[in-house]
Amino acid sequence: MSTEVAHHSIHIPQWKKDEIEEIKKNITTYSSIGVVGIRGIPSNQLQLMRKSLRGIADLKLCRNSLIDRALNESSTDVQQINKYVEDQTALLFTNENPFKLQKILQQGKTSAPIKAGAVSPKDIVVEKGPTSFPPGPIVGELTGAGIAAGIEGGKVVIRQTKIVAKKGDVVDAKLASILSRLEIHPMELGLDLRAVYQNGMIYESKILSVDETIYKNNLTLAVQHAFNLSVNSAYPTKFTISTLLTKAASQSRNLAINAEIVMPEIIDVLLGKANAQMMSIAKLTNAKDANSTSTKLKEKLAAAPK
């Protein structure tokens, strides 16, 4: 160790060393390491989140510099997640599948009011319709915030649907107050998963955010296409063999009927077909010459459905 490194190490407080060692220990203990953003989450809310994740994941809150150092002192693979450590960050240590972890964190998010000076995460829409407010200064406040309002039936109403802030806009104090009073909560309060390291792989949040309904529908469609391809190409598998045998039996039966091959299995069909042809010929000949058909055959023709 060089004099410079030794000098630097001497002046690292023990609590920082302990923090670094705890992170390094967790890295080797758990199969997955998640990097989460915690900006805007109050400390008491973070503590509640930590409790809700108990038994699922261990939430580690500490300075980015300590996280950075612990990662740099770990394996080369693990060091890859260092690039996701920015702004206000925490680590999640878990043995859960990264996709399941993302789902758990998404389900744990709650809606929250937007604060003055905050950046809107999406287009904020105020819908047309009645409010719970009685007539009063609120009408002027709504109008001042760019929301058309009036009085109808003794209640304040919003006269038209309007986007009051677009995604990326900074929300001022006046609009933030109005949105809160209208109980419009555009913010999502929760841990923002940036990436997960597992078994040498990095899974970014955009990969982990899977629409399960679309995913299941795509799988079902793929299975249907594979099944149809197997049947249409007559490729036998344990999933299609019964369908292929049924199809083959049906085709062979139709072939025998059309070729008029006498077999016990289709003799009744062939006799029915011959009788129908005979009746058609008798009908034509009888129409030309009534004496060409017997009395019994005429009775059959008369009884036959028109």
DSSP code per residue over 199-257: TTEEEEHHHH---HHHHHHHHHHHHHHHHHHHHHTT---TTTHHHHHHHHHHHHHHHHH
pLDDT of residue 123: 94
Comparison of pLDDT for 23 and 286, the residue scoring more: 23
| Mean pLDDT over the full length of the chain | 88
The radius of gyration computed from the CA coordinates of the chain, to the nearest angstrom, equals 38
Long-range Cβ pairs for the range 18-25 (8 Å, 24+):
19/62, 19/63, 19/66, 19/70, 20/66, 20/69, 20/70, 20/73, 21/70, 22/60, 23/60, 23/62, 23/66, 23/67, 23/70, 23/71, 23/91, 24/70, 24/73, 24/74
pLDDT of residue 306: 64
Per the CB < 8 A criterion, the answer to whether 145 and 174 are in contact is yes
pLDDT of residue 99: 92
Confidence of residue 153 (pLDDT cuts 50, 70, 90): confident
Cα gap 7→113, rounded to integer Å: 48
pLDDT of residue 12: 77
Q: How many CB atoms lie within 10 A of CB 102?
A: 20
pLDDT digits (tens, 9 = 90+) for 108-135: 888 889 989 989 989 999 999 999 899 9
Residue 294 has pLDDT above 70, yes or no: yes
pLDDT of residue 277: 83
Positive or negative torsion for Cα 289, 294, 297, 302 = positive
pLDDT of residue 290: 74
pLDDT of residue 10: 54
pLDDT of residue 275: 83
Domains and CATH numbers, the chain: 3-109+189-210 (3.30.70.1730), 124-187 (3.90.105.20), 216-303 (no CATH)
Residue 265 has pLDDT above 90, yes or no: no
**pTM, rounded to two decimals:** 0.60
Closest alpha carbon to 130 in 116, 147, 150: 150
pLDDT of residue 145: 86
pLDDT digits (tens, 9 = 90+) for 178-227: 999 999 999 888 999 999 999 999 999 988 987 778 888 999 999 999 99
Element (H, E) at 7: helix 3-10
pLDDT of residue 4: 45
pLDDT of residue 209: 82
Closest alpha carbon to 56 in 14, 17, 18, 94: 94
pLDDT digits (tens, 9 = 90+) for 4-50: 444 445 577 889 999 999 999 999 999 999 999 998 888 888 888 99
